[in-house]
Amino acid sequence: MRVLIVSGHLVDRPGRQPPRFPQHLAGEVTDEMNAIFEEWDIGPETAVFCGGARGADIIGAELGLGRGASVRLFLALPSEEFARSSVELPGTTWRARFEELCRRAEVRTLPAGTAPGDEVFARTNGWMVEEALRLDPEPRAVIVWDGKPGDGPGGTSDLVARLRHGPGDPRIRIIDPTVYISRDS
């Protein structure tokens, strides 16, 4: 089985400075990710792994399901707590989309007590990468990321480091939403 990891920045809360992934750019990111899925022939022979958060994770999971891939959500916290911390964004549909994914995908939750505080997100990154490597020695990844260190442990830069795909590696594609922000200016 081929494995594709999808991860990246959360869609920004209003007023985030500097912006990394504003809500209004979700369509552009979806289109770019869909083109990569098409190029890589993501479908029934692929397992899509992601963390389930608003933004890159939910977009990738939805695209994977739409192409017949199996989707596994690796949640850092129990579903309700995870939704409050990493999914909900007032005035958006992210929560409803997450709930629909939880009904359609295989959901795994990091066992309680495995890491304190924000470290659960770093531990979940490691768990997801380990599971991917167990099934596919050459997993691919689509990452929505501005290339900068994250706001805390377990962010996008942590996952990229754990993958160990070096610069120019054809198994990883980076979608940088800040490119669209600079075009809007």
Domain containing 23 — which CATH number? 3.40.50.450
How many domains does one find in the chain? 1
Q: What pairing do the DSSP bridges indicate for beta strands 140-144 and 106-109?
A: unpaired
Containing domain of residue 7, as a range?
Answer: 2-184
| Predicted pLDDT at 181 | 81
Long-range CB contacts (< 8 A, 24+ apart) of 155-163? 155/9, 155/121, 156/7, 156/8, 156/9, 158/121, 158/122, 158/125, 159/5, 159/7, 159/125, 159/128, 159/129, 162/125, 162/126, 162/129, 163/5, 163/129, 163/139
Whether 23 contacts 17, CB under 8 Å: no
pLDDT at 97: 98
Q: For 48-90, write each residue's pLDDT tens digit.
A: 999 999 999 999 999 999 999 999 999 999 999 999 999 999 9
Q: What is the pTM of this model?
A: 0.94
